[in-house]
Amino acid sequence: MLDFVIPFIILILVVVFIHEYGHYYFAKKYGVGVTDFSIGFGKELFGWSDNSGTRWKICIIPLGGYVKFFGDRNVFSQSDQEALINKYNEKEREKLFVLKPLYQRAIIVAAGPIANFILAAVIFLFIYMFIGKDFTPAVINEVQIESPADEAGLKKNDIILEIDGTKVKSLLDVSKLITMSTGEFIDFKVSRLDQDVILKVKPKIVASTDNLGNKMNKRIVGIKLGAFNDEINHVKLGPAKALYYSLNEVYFVTISSLKYLGSMVSGSGDSSQLGGPIRIAKITGQVAEFGVIPFLSMMAYISISLGLINLFPIPLLDGGHLMFYSFEKILGRPLSQKTQEGFFRIGMFLLLSLMFFATFNDLRDLGLF
C-alpha cells in the first residue's frame, strides 16, 4: 500500500503546490493580501507563518489545496464590495482581491491552471534534453488476417506517417494515438512504395489490460510494428527543439483530453476509463516502480489534467470565476450575489456527480462492484 500512497502524495504535493503558487505569485505581484497557502484540506498537520502574514500549511487530506486572500471567507469569494469598503480602512482595502481591477483578478485566477501547463512543459523539456526523444519511423511488420487493419487495406512494410491527422514521429506515437482516438474510424496515412495512401480503419473494442495490468477497453487494429530498417533513432534534443516538442506534447494531451471528454458527453466515448484519486494513486505507484522518468511523465500528464479541468466554466473551479469575470466585463458590473450562489449550487452538484462517478469506476476497477 505504501508503494502506491507515497508516490501519489509526492505527485499531488508537487502538482497542487505549483497550481496554488501560480495564484499566489500574481496575487502578491498585484498587492493582494494572502492569509493562507494550504496544500490539502481539513486539519493542519504542520505549517509556518512568513513575515507577510501568510500561513503556509500542509493539511490532512492531500487531494487539493487553496490560497485564501485577505478579507475573503474562501478562495476568490465574491463578497459584497460595499460591505467590504465599510469594513476595512483605506490601507487594508489595497490588499482586497475583490477590489482589484478586473484584468488583475482574471490573471490571478488563470495563473493556477497556466502554472500546471508550464510544469508539464518543463518536465517534458527536461526529459527531451537530458534523456532524449524517440524518432524511430514506425513500419508495419505484420497485419493480422481478418483484423480491422487487414479489412481496411493496411499492408506489411507500410510506413505510418499520420494517424487522425497527427504526424507519427516514432513507434511510441502509434499506440498512443490509437488509444487516444475517439471516433468510430481511425484515419491512417501511410507511405507505400513511395506513395502516400489514406485508409480508414474501424478498430475493435476489446476488454484487456494495459502494460501495468489495469483493466481497460482497448482499441485493436491488428498490426505489429517494427523500426524502419531495424534502426532505433533516439536522440537528445537541444533547448529549442526540446521546447518545441514539449509544448507540442502539452498541446496534444490537452486536445486529446478535450476530444475524449466530448465523446463521453455525446455518448460515444468510453466512460469506464474515467478515474478518480484511487485509480490515479494506483497507477502512480505502478509507474514509480519503473523509475524517475516514467514518474515525472506521469506527473506532467496529471498536471495537464488538473490545469485543464480547472479551466472548465464550472463555479467552484477557476474557470467558473473566469466565467463570472466575463459576465462582469460584458454587463459592466458583477453578477448579483443571489445569481452567483445559484451558479455555485449547480457547480457543486456537477462536481459531486463527477466525483461520485469517478470513484464508482475506481471501486469497480478494484473489484468491489
Active site (catalytic) residues = 20
226 closest CA partner among 138, 111, 101, 326? 138
Whether 299 contacts 123, CB under 8 Å: yes
The answer to whether 322 and 109 are in contact (CB under 8 A) is yes
Q: What's the Cα-to-Cα distance from 47 to each of 12, 22, 62, 124, 164, rounded to whole Å?
A: 17, 20, 14, 31, 49
Helices (H), the chain: 2-29, 81-87, 90-93, 102-130, 148-152, 171-180, 239-266, 277-288, 292-310, 318-331, 337-365
CA dist 60 to 2, 38, 40, 45, 73, Å? 16, 10, 6, 6, 20
